[in-house]
Amino acid sequence: MAKQPYLIGIAGPSCSGKSEVSRRLAVALQASSLSLDSYYRDLSHLPLEERAKVNFDSPESMDESLLVAQMRQLASGISIDKPVYDFARHTPSGAVDHVPAADYVVVEGLFTLYWPEVRSLLHASVYISASHEVCLERRLERDVRDRGRTPEYVMAQYRDTVRPMCDRYIRPSEKHASLVLTGTNYLDQSVHCIIALIRSNPATGTMGRAAMPSYV
């Protein structure tokens, strides 16, 4: 039987720690990575000041159809070129990143467990939980440092859209996870738990897959 790529979905609130867990998991599994941050809709038709007012914490801000299409390609063993998003300008940059087909693919983002069509492509699903206090502290540091935001902008955005949309769309998606982890856990511990989940839930059609790492 032909080898079937194994897709692992990781969801959770903004700055819960899911991105770092996903990066370490990808290294441990020699996996390809797909971040939902690449799939925000193109807002280049709007003036920059209008783009900043868009609710980026609603699933409607995402290009779900492109995400699903590219996930299907990876699930079929076909490499993709995913868009690169420019967070300072709130629009795709025009560049792409090549994502090779691999035995394992880690799919990470706010809404990974929100859409039924995305969930249907996953072999394992993980939710990283964290309090609003922890998430806000981390988001302040990240967005000021990496995304050209001011502290005042980050605080207002968290109050007006991030927190309410998290409570409306993201936290309820925890019920779809086969494993729930805390975002304040040691990262190695979280990766170990996910690898244990994969071992207990192997996909069919995986003859020839690389051996699972003995990750501690």
Alpha carbons 157 and 146: distance in angstroms, whole number: 16
Which of these ranges, 26-30, 50-54, 108-112, has the smallest mean pLDDT? 50-54
Helices (H), 46-150: 48-51, 64-75, 116-119, 132-146
Amino acid at 150: T
Computed over every residue of the chain, the mean pLDDT equals 90
Contacts of 167 (CB under 8 A, 6+ apart): none
pLDDT of 76 strictly over 60: yes
pLDDT of 21 strictly over 60: yes
Residue 1: predicted pLDDT? 39
Average pLDDT over residues 48-56: 85
pLDDT in tens, 156-206: 989 999 999 999 999 999 999 999 999 999 999 999 999 999 998 876 434
pLDDT in tens, 109-140: 999 999 999 999 999 999 999 999 999 999 99
Half-sphere exposure of 51 (CA within 13 A, CB side): 16
User: Residue 122's closest CA among 59, 163, 176, 173?
Assistant: 176
Instruction: Give the pLDDT band of residue 213 (cuts 50, 70, 90).
Output: low
User: Which domains does the chain possess?
Assistant: 6-191 (3.40.50.300)
Phi, psi of 3 (to 5 degrees): -70, 135
SS3 (DSSP) at 126: strand
